[in-house]
Structure 1
Amino acid sequence: MRILILFMIVCSNVIYVQSQVGIKTDNTKGALHIDGLGNNPKTGSIPKDKTGDDLVINQSLNSSNIGIGVIPDADSSAQLKLGGANSAFLPNRVKLRSANDIETVPNPEDGMVVYNTTDNATMKSGLYSYYNNQWNKLLEKEFISVIEYRDLWAGVTTSTGTGYVDPVTDTKAYENPSKSTALLWANPATKEKALQYITLPETGSFALSFRLYMKQSANSNTRAVGYLWAMKGASTAVKDVLDVSEINLTSFEESEANRIMTASVTLTVSGNKDDQVCIRWGAPEMARGSLRAAPFQMIPQKTSLIFWKL
């Protein structure tokens, strides 16, 4: 009987033994401890200069943690700790074909990081992180926000760009960006004229602040309405609307020279470097504002735009 009781006690103790596996070491510091050079002391703490070749897998805060070249702390919340003082972490090197590439790295998840080796006009080499359904290049330098400036240009047939730009009018203008006029722009910094698009200088989100100077179309006390659209490239489809704003102003009975309205509007857009944004101007079939263009002139009586990265 005593032998049976002793056997049961031994078996119960064996069940609750927490095993640790050591490879080339008897002084294990985790569930699995590999000592590459086999130079750890037999017992006690392991000096830091002896852990450079060690791999330790342990459990801390209800999660597994791994130390490479270092013994992970018992209460650490880091799942991976690297200890090499003259080594570096090298992420996977891949050839991304575009920011929306989901085939090179199948089923990407938010937070994934890779080093892209592709280097062309659309994808530059460097570290990329996946979020918001695309690969985003991590900044390699401190970003300095620069404000860019554009003047409204009256049309391709004008030599000076000065004049008024009428909106396309339609009773459904508020829901249909195709019922609007695509605005042209001049760049005072480069002297470029009749630009069809605002080109994003960086990947990210931008604020576009418009200063609208308008002449009302009717000599009456009424409401003047306009719709300012920011569109993706040349598209006029609703699915490619980046932002839109309705402008409501009151017009008054005045002589033609005094029928002036002004408004300030800010739109926001997001995109990749070199994406093109088209600005469109529409109105319903009622009193409306015709935008005044006076490019390259330092006067307040004109429509202009400034934009910057958020």
Structure 2
Amino acid sequence: MNNAINADNMDFKSWMKQCQALCENDLSHFLPATTTVPGKLHDAMRYAALDGGKRVRPLLVYAAGQLFDAPADLLSRAAAAIEMIHAYSLVHDDMPCMDDDALRRGKPTVHVKYDEATALLVGDALQAQAFLILSEGDVSAAGQAATRLMMLQLLARAAGSVGMCGGQAIDLDSVGVALNREQLEQMHRLKTGALLRAAVLLGAMSGKTLNTDESAALDQYAAAIGLAFQVVDDVLDATADSATLGKTAGKDAADNKPTFVSLMGLDASRQLARQLCHDAHAALQGFGDKAQRLHELADLIVERQA
């Protein structure tokens, strides 16, 4: 685990693959086994969380933890917890009562593979499991109990009504509504950005209690990449095919949802993503070379093709 996080001499793609493999192993370890009753629910939880996705949020946890030499076990728990929250949100987002999608990460969505009731329970159980694993582990060192409590509070706020769930609520209420740019950005800072911000701060907090300047810089970085992530998502939804995306392409337009592309057009959206990437890099200047992986992840988020 330490090699994946601290391998400064490793190129970015190798580091990313090693961290993704680490996250996959940790998720498999922290999720209940299919042999544990109820087996169907646990099988569906593993189906939803394992074997897929770019693991951007865990990568951000590992990269931010590198800034302050965070301990491997706590980073492992933070990365797995935030990926479980993300996986649960996708399961619920795909259900017929929300976006009603049949494809996710190149395979049938959970409610299609199993059934709607199971999908609902999978999301509920993954959310509970995330907080369970983040609360466990060794807290005997000085200040560790207080740190863990702050991390749990941060994750709860990011996932709740003033974070991801709140953004999703605004999204559902905005179908067919012409939002202005400020309203659109607010929606996505909650729906997408809140969990990405939490990933960065959870990784950093695993290593130390942040001072005001460190917290402000990481907040600026996270705000920039969080919005950039959604802008690029909107561009890809309008330009890529379903096979490339691993989910149904063109669905935002078909569902009459407000997007950056519908508001600004493709060229202006791409320019906005590039500006946000520049802002993210600028926010990290005070961290020097230790922020290399965070710089590389900002580029990955903006340059990705899926």
Question: Please, what TM-score do these two structures have when normalized by structure 2?
Answer: 0.18
Q: Which has the higher helix share?
A: 2
Report the structure, 1 or 2, having the larger strand content: 1
Q: Which has the larger radius of gyration?
A: 1
Identify which of structures 1 and 2 has the higher relative contact order when contacts are C-alpha pairs closer than 8 Å and 6+ apart: 2
Tell me the TM-score normalized by structure 1.
0.18
